């Protein structure tokens, strides 16, 4: 019950925040000529990181719920949240130990994420029949649809990187923020409702 209330409150907060930030960013860019709003470590990017941090926190909290049998999905969401955070944050800009910067950027980040992903996949292979069924149920659910739409928005947003428009960066960042909001929606829903399959683990 506590996690349900937390998930609802976090999602309501995130939805309101994302809506407000997108509206304000568009107004600032087009009417107040505040072009810096799309810069690194400014409002749009910082909001993206905040939504991803909320996603990571909630997905980890759901994953450590011992009574759930679908926790592998929340573990995977935790992995995706972590990967997206590393994608959005330039660790080189912070006063961090060298080993953290090496692990969290460039080829080090790729190796780290591939290692974590491989560990998750190997675990799923050990119980592959159950997890194949669970994956099918997941992608037929509203949670799977939210994750699919999130990916679509990320892909569409990436197209604007190479388009020479005055507001191309603004459009790209807004699409990314909507994508992360949909991603957080999926995590919020799964934290409140377990995905079940007829096969036993």
pLDDT tens string 111-158 = 999 999 999 999 888 888 888 888 888 888 888 889 999 999 999 999
Distance CA 87, CA 109 (A): 9
Q: Is residue 156 part of a domain?
A: yes
Count the domains in the chain: 1
Q: Is residue 29 part of a domain?
A: yes
- Residue 62: enclosing H or E segment and its boundaries? helix 43-63
94 falls in which pLDDT band (50, 70, 90)? confident
Q: Is residue 199 part of a domain?
A: no
The answer to whether the beta carbons of residues 87 and 154 sit under 8 Å apart is: no
Distance CA 89, CA 100 (A): 13
Q: Is residue 92 part of a domain?
A: yes
Q: Is residue 201 part of a domain?
A: no
Lowest mean pLDDT segment, chosen from 34-38, 39-43, 63-67: 63-67
- Tell me the whole-structure pTM to 2 decimals: 0.89
Q: Is residue 200 part of a domain?
A: no
CA distances (Å), 197 to each of 3, 25, 73, in order? 22, 43, 13
Q: Is residue 197 part of a domain?
A: no
Q: Is residue 59 part of a domain?
A: yes
Domain with 111, as residue range(s), is: 2-192
């Amino acid at each position: 019950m506590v996690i349900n209330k937390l998930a609802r409150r976090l999602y309501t907060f995130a939805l309101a925040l994302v809506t407000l930030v997108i509206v304000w960013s568009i107004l600032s860019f087009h009417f107040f000529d505040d072009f810096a709003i799309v810069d690194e470590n400014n409002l749009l990017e910082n909001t993206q990181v905040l939504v991803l941090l909320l996603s990571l926190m909630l997905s980890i909290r759901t994953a450590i719920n011992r009574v759930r049998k679908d926790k592998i999905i929340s573990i995977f969401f935790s992995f995706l949240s972590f990967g997206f955070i590393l994608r959005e944050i330039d660790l080189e800009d912070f006063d961090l130990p060298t080993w953290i910067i090496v692990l969290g950027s460039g080829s080090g980040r790729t190796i780290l994420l591939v290692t974590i992903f491989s560990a998750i996949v190997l675990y799923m292979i050990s119980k592959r029949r159950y997890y194949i069924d669970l994956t099918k149920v997941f992608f037929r659910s509203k949670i799977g649809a939210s994750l699919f739409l999130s990916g679509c928005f990320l892909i569409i947003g990436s197209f604007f990187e190479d388009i020479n428009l005055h507001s191309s960066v603004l459009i790209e960042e807004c699409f990314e923020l909507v994508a992360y909001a949909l991603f957080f929606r999926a995590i919020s829903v799964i934290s409140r409702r377990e995905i079940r399959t007829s096969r036993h683990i």
